[in-house]
Structure 1
Amino acid sequence: MSEVAHLGPGGPRRHQPLLRTLVGEVLRRRRIEQRRTLADVARAARVSLPYLSEVERGRKEASSEVLAAVCAALGLDLADFLTDVRLRLVTQVAPAHRHQSPVARRPGDALLLAA
């Protein structure tokens, strides 16, 4: 289970998974799916093994440069990786706690994903 942040001033608090935890979970799952060792991926990404281990365990927040290097080492497109993290976030947030804002979509509207 992911660590959570408690959001919301006063009133009811929402539980939101920590992004660093989700990032680590997705990286570890992808690495294991490829049957690669932590040492192998760390070496290919040119990051230290202890640091990559901390990132996978959600203890450290990786910079965009480190994430790009690890994704490249795993043969993943960074956009696909971030989409995977987003999907994990969406599935872990209880539907009752999701912010539901009525948004009318129009042709030409863009969706912005941020990590």
Structure 2
Amino acid sequence: MKRERHYSPETHRALSVLGKLIAAERRRQRRTQVDLAGRAGISLPTLSKIERGSASSEIGSVFELATILGIRLFPDVDDVRLDQRLALTPSSVRNSLAPVDDDF
């Protein structure tokens, strides 16, 4: 039996917004759902779910649709700076066995 997932209101809102952006851009470009689904390699019901903001769709399919339509997903992210920032953070975190003396 498939386990039901629960998502936060913010996740549902983000899915809804992205689905609406995809539907609006598809319509602006005068593309049919059949055409876009075929171009993305997904089924028509999957495209319909994505446009309605369903949380059950694969994220790769959602991102592919956005890319095909020219929707920038992370316009303010600088990949180089993000890579540099990640390089400065530890790859793992160890818990200290010694108690912390925080009595100032």
Question: CA, structure 1 residues 49+60, in 2 after alignment: closer, same or farther (shift >3 Å)?
Answer: farther
Question: CA, structure 1 residues 17+58, in 2 after alignment: closer, same or farther (shift >3 Å)?
Answer: closer
What's the counterpart of residue 30 of structure 1?
25
Normalising by structure 1, we get a TM-score of 0.49
Looking at CA atoms only, which structure, 1 or 2, has the larger radius of gyration? 2
Counting matched residue pairs gives 71
**Gaps in structure 1 of 5+ consecutive residues:** 8-15, 84-109, 111-115
Query: Does the 8 Å CA contact 1:23/1:58 hold for their aligned counterparts?
Result: yes
Q: CA deviation at 1:62?
A: 3.4
Query: Does the 8 Å CA contact 2:16/2:54 hold for their aligned counterparts?
Result: yes
Normalising by structure 2, we get a TM-score of 0.53
Pairwise CA RMSD of aligned residues?
Answer: 3.1
Query: Does the 8 Å CA contact 2:15/2:54 hold for their aligned counterparts?
Result: yes
Moved over 4 A (4+): none
- CA offset digits 1:52-96 (Å, max 9, x no partner): 10110123443331122212322344435x99xxxxxxxxxxxxx
Residues in 1 aligned to 2:62 and 2:25: alpha-carbon distance in whole angstroms: 13
1:57 and 2:52 equivalent?
yes
Between the aligned residues of both structures, percent identity stands at 28
